Copies of this chain bind each other. A is one copy, B any other.
């Protein structure tokens, strides 16, 4: 017998730009929102009965309407408002999740002063949050960032690994270490200053990345997660994924030239991939 085991649906890539207008200038936010619902949708799947289906187009409208009324100070709080709105109006929905990715915009500096209403797109780094709640439950909040691309040109080596018949990599005590950090941290509870926590975690991880005397991506990744947990008490675990974006030293000896770790070829593929979840134990 064939059965529907699990299902969810919603709207993804709902783009929202919000301008907040103050007397002396404007603030700018750009978010990409995804809403997903689980619930009692078996009749739609098996019978084509849409009577319990909230159209994904309506979810899109809801994103904009709730944003207009929102006084949330963070993505996390807005996501909670949106979820409560959806759960409150849709008893057939058993749980809702909202994922938001925030694009970086930086205020322009003109003649040395911050401009009141003009902005420049920042790097490709995204600030993210994934908030979930079941009917009658509590919020699970996982915030993070991704595509934070960093590179250190000193204090990174890779030595002492397994030597076997398929090993061709040369050991080095001095290599470039480039990565695109993806981090997700789990909040213990709700009601925090999410923006402040985010900023602290980000700075702490960058400081550890820069200062760490790296023996491997694994070791530096762990040190970054450890420093985040040590610095921020509001989170109980952090998951980090750090691809190794390799930069290959060019062999110039073929041309009678030396290459004292100066000329490299950055490559996009293949890439190492390292991930770990680091937790605070009671």
Q: How many copies does the complex hold?
A: 4
Given A6-B276, A120-B148, A153-B28: A44 touches B216 (CB 8 Å cut-off): yes
Closest B residue, CB atoms, query A170 = B57
Q: Does A219 contact B (CB under 8 A)?
A: yes
Let me know if B48 and A219 touch, CB within 8 A. yes
Cα A180 to Cα B277 in complex, Å, equals: 32
Given A45-B219, A65-B257, A218-B45: A51 touches B161 (CB 8 Å cut-off): yes
Q: Which residues from B are CB-within-8-Å of A110?
A: 206-207, 210-211
Specify which of B55, B169, B214, B263 is in contact with A16 (CB 8 Å cutoff). Answer: B263
* Chain B min CB distance to A37 (Å): 10
Closest B residue, CB atoms, query A41 = B218
* Chain B min CB distance to A239 (Å): 8
Let me know if A12 and B273 touch, CB within 8 A. yes
Q: Does A221 contact B (CB under 8 A)?
A: yes
Specify which of B6, B17, B55, B279 is in contact with A264 (CB 8 Å cutoff). Answer: B17
Q: Which residues from B are CB-within-8-Å of A15?
A: 265-267, 269-270
Chain B interface: which of A71-79, A132-140, A243-251? A243-251
Interface string of A221-243 (1 = CB under 8 A from B): 11001100110000001000001
Given A116-B154, A120-B150: A13 touches B45 (CB 8 Å cut-off): no
Cα A268 to Cα B176 in complex, Å, equals: 22
Q: Does A196 contact B (CB under 8 A)?
A: no
Q: Which residues from B are CB-within-8-Å of A5?
A: 237, 276-279
Let me know if A68 and B257 touch, CB within 8 A. yes
Let me know if A262 and B152 touch, CB within 8 A. no
Cα A207 to Cα B149 in complex, Å, equals: 28
Q: Does A94 contact B (CB under 8 A)?
A: no
Using a CB–CB cutoff of 8 Å, the interface residues on chain A facing chain B are 1-21, 26, 28, 30, 34, 36, 41, 44-58, 60-62, 64-65, 67-69, 89-90, 104-105, 108, 110-111, 115-124, 148-155, 158-162, 164-169, 176, 206-207, 209-211, 214-219, 221-222, 225-226, 229-230, 237, 243-244, 247, 250, 252, 254-257, 259-281
